Structure 1
Amino acid sequence: MSDRLKALAEAGVSIWLDDLSRERIETGNLAELVKEKSVVGVTTNPTIFAAAIAKGERYDEQLRTLVADGKDVDEVIFGLTTEDVRNACDILAPVAEATKDDGRVSIEVEPTLANDTDATIASAKALWAAVDRPNVLIKIPATLEGLPAITAAIAEGISVNVTLIFSVERYRAVMDAYLTGLEQAKAAGKDLSSIRSVASFFVSRVDTEIDKRLEAIGTPEATALLGKAAVANAIAAYAAFEEVHASERWTALAGEGANAQRPLWASTGVKNPSYPDTLYVTDLVVADTVNTMPEKTLEAFADHGEVKGDVVTGKGAEAAAVFESLRSVGVDLDDVFEVLETEGVDKFKASWVELVDTVKGQIEAVK
């Protein structure tokens, strides 16, 4: 057991692996990470699946069966990915049974639907039914069109990982969508205690975009702010989480058995090599949160990460001061978050194209 990762878990941070493959499942690697590295959840995306499917033969038998059954490429992708997620859910089922909120595995709705509410709802329902495990989370992007889809899914009793959140303003809209869904679920007689959700707040990309703008401005005041925006943004998000979960609206739902929608720190792999490689873990330690890490970041923290206690609670004013400084040197934050969301959706769609192309190649290879 890694002492550093154990300390992180004991500080209240749920460690989720941002990766999945059939190889991890079948070799016992995922189970080992749960046992030895304090991993209590898994997130996936089309790029992760494309890499997994491209590099091994473990998918060939199922591929041949699906192709023989006349499935098209989208149906093959659906079959391969839901099989992996279902099996990962089974590996993590003991964690789900032993903990209140962990043991979850996330699978994403088709990214090309990010701006189509009805199609996103249909995709979420199909994935939920196909995986058919209570500890699966369906990833829905926090686009404007995604917000009503989040509400609709929660109202149906579907557990959701809301992804692609960049701004605190959008995060507040996500929390409202979740609470509205819970209220609708309650009105429909659903068991609120069975519904789970996390809100995936993207971290490193905020620094990447804002640092680029600060370097272009080039003043001493601007360069002094390099590497400060992403952590401040996440801290501000946590302050918003605390505010909403102190409200009468939330208290009423909690009294009916509802579970809090935990903040999840996503995109925590450090992009700038001049920053500490554990920056977005060490500087975001606070109880009742999730940090989903690529294996490289997980191993880095296991080797030299530091847990300094709660470094988030009560720092909302400091975070607000960072953003006031960013505005004062000329950073247009509204534009930053608009650019990040647009680029995020585009990257999601590109990753889906990558997955489709990969699976097409594998289909040809097994014919």
Structure 2
Amino acid sequence: MSDRLKALADAGVSIWLDDLSRERIETGNLADLVAEKSVVGVTTNPTIFASAISDGERYDEQVRSLIKEGADVDKVIFELTTEDVRNACDVLATVADGSSSDGRVSIEVEPILANDTDGTIASAKALWSAVDRPNALIKIPATLEGLPAITAAIAEGISVNVTLIFSTERYRTVMHAYLSGLEQAKDNGLDLAQIQSVASFFVSRVDTEIDKRLDAIGSDEALALRGKAAVANARLAYAAFEEVIASDRWQALAAAGAKQQRPLWASTGVKNPDYSDTLYVTDLVVSGTVNTMPEKTMEAFADHGEVKGDQVSGRAQEAKALFDQLSEVGVDLDDVFLVLETEGVDKFKKSWLELVETVKGQMG
């Protein structure tokens, strides 16, 4: 057992692995990470699946079988990915049985539907039905078109991981979409206690974009602010979360058995080698949150990460002051978040096309 990762878990942070492959499942590696590295969840995306499928022969037999059945590339992708997520859900079933909110495995709706509400809803329903495990989460992007899809999915009892959240403003609309879905689910007579959700707030990409702008500005005041925006942004998001769970609206749903939509820190691998490789773990420790990490980040934390107690609660004012400084030196924060979401959706779609090409290659 990794003492450092255990300390992180003991501080109330749920450690989720941002990776999945059939090899991890079949060799017992995923089960080992659960047993030895305090891993209590898994997140996936098309890039992760493309890498897994291109690297391994473990998919070949299923691909051949699907081709014989006349499956097209979209059907092959659907069957390969839902099979992996279903089996990962089974590996994590004991964690889910012993936890009110962990033991979850996420699978993403088709990224090409990021700006298509009805298509996203249909994709979410199809994935939820195919995986057919209560500890699955369906990833839906926090685009303007994704918001009503989040509400619709929750209203039908589908557990959701909301992804691609960059700004506190958009995060508030995500929380509102979740509460609206719970209210509809309650009206539909569903058991609210069975519905799970996390809100994936992206971290490292914020520093990457803002640092680029600070470098371009070039003043001493601007350069002194590098590497600070992402953590401040996450702390502002957490303050917004605290406001919502203190509201009468949430309290009424909690009384009816609803679970909190936990903040999840995503994109926590550090992009700038000048920064500590555990920056977005150590500085975002707060109980009741999730940190989904690439294995490289998890191993770094296991080796030399530090848990210094709660680094998030009560720091919104300090974070707001930093954002004021960013504005003062000339960073257009509204534009930053617009660019990040646009790029995020574009990367989302590009990763899907990479997965399609990878699977076409496997199909011969």
Normalised by the length of structure 1, the TM-score is: 0.99
SS in 2 for 1:140: strand
Residue 356 of structure 1 pairs with residue 356 of structure 2 = yes
| Structure 2 letter corresponding to 1:181 | G
Asked if 1:329 is matched to 2:329, the reply is yes
Task: Give the counterpart letter for 2:68 in structure 1.
Answer: A
Identity %: 80
CA shift, 1:56, in A, is 1.0
Q: One-letter code of the match for 1:222?
A: A
Paired with 1:142 and 1:82, the residues of 2 have a C-alpha distance of 22
CA RMSD of aligned residues (A): 0.3
Q: Which 5+ residue runs of structure 2 have no aligned equivalent? A: none
**In the TM superposition, what is the alpha-carbon distance from 1:235 to its structure 2 partner?**
0.3
Q: Paired residue for 2:50?
A: 50
**Does residue 10 in structure 1 map to residue 1 in structure 2?**
no
Q: Deviations over 1:75-115 (max 9, x none)?
A: 00000000000000000000000011000000000000000
How many Å separate the matches in 1 of 2:322 and 2:139?
30
Report what 1:101 is aligned to: 101
Q: Deviations over 1:21-64 (max 9, x none)?
A: 00000000000000000000000000000000001110011111
Amino acid at match of 2:50: A
- Where 1:269 maps in the other structure, the secondary structure is coil
* 1:176 Cα offset (Å): 0.1
Q: Distance in 2 between matches of 1:317 and 1:129?
A: 44
Match of 1:214 in 2: 214
AA at the equivalent of 2:335: D
Q: Which amino acid aligns with 1:363?
A: M
The residue aligned with 1:141 is 141
Structure 2 CA distance, aligned partners of 1:116 and 1:359? 24
Q: Does the residue aligned with 1:137 lie in a helix, a strand or coil?
A: strand
Deviations 1:267-325 (A, max 9, x none): 00000000000000000000000000000000000000000000100001001001000
Q: How does 1:280-299 map to 2 (within 5 A)?
A: 280-299=280-299
Structure 2 counterparts to residues 266-345 of structure 1, below 5 A: 266-345=266-345
Give the alignment's TM-score, normalised by structure 2. Answer: 1.00
1:22 aligns with 2:25: no
CA distance in 2, matches of 1:66, 1:130: 16
Distance of 1:10 and 1:67 partners within structure 2: 47
Structure-to-structure mapping, 1:32-71, within 5 angstroms: 32-71=32-71
> What count of residue pairs does the alignment treat as equivalent?
364
* Structure-2 residue corresponding to 1:76: 76
Deviations 1:201-259 (A, max 9, x none): 00000000000000000111101100000000000000000000000000000000000
Which amino acid in structure 1 is aligned with residue 126 of structure 2? A
**In 2, distance between residues paired with 1:237 and 1:215?**
25
Alignment of 1:163-178 (within 5 A): 163-178=163-178
2:242 corresponding residue in structure 1? 242
Structure 2 counterpart of 1:65, which letter? S
* Counterpart amino acid of residue 94 in structure 1: T
In 2: Cα distance, 1:199 partner to 1:122 partner: 20
- 1:222-241 → structure 2 map (5 Å cutoff): 222-241=222-241
> After TM superposition, which residue ranges in structure 1, 4 or more long, deviate above 3 angstroms?
none
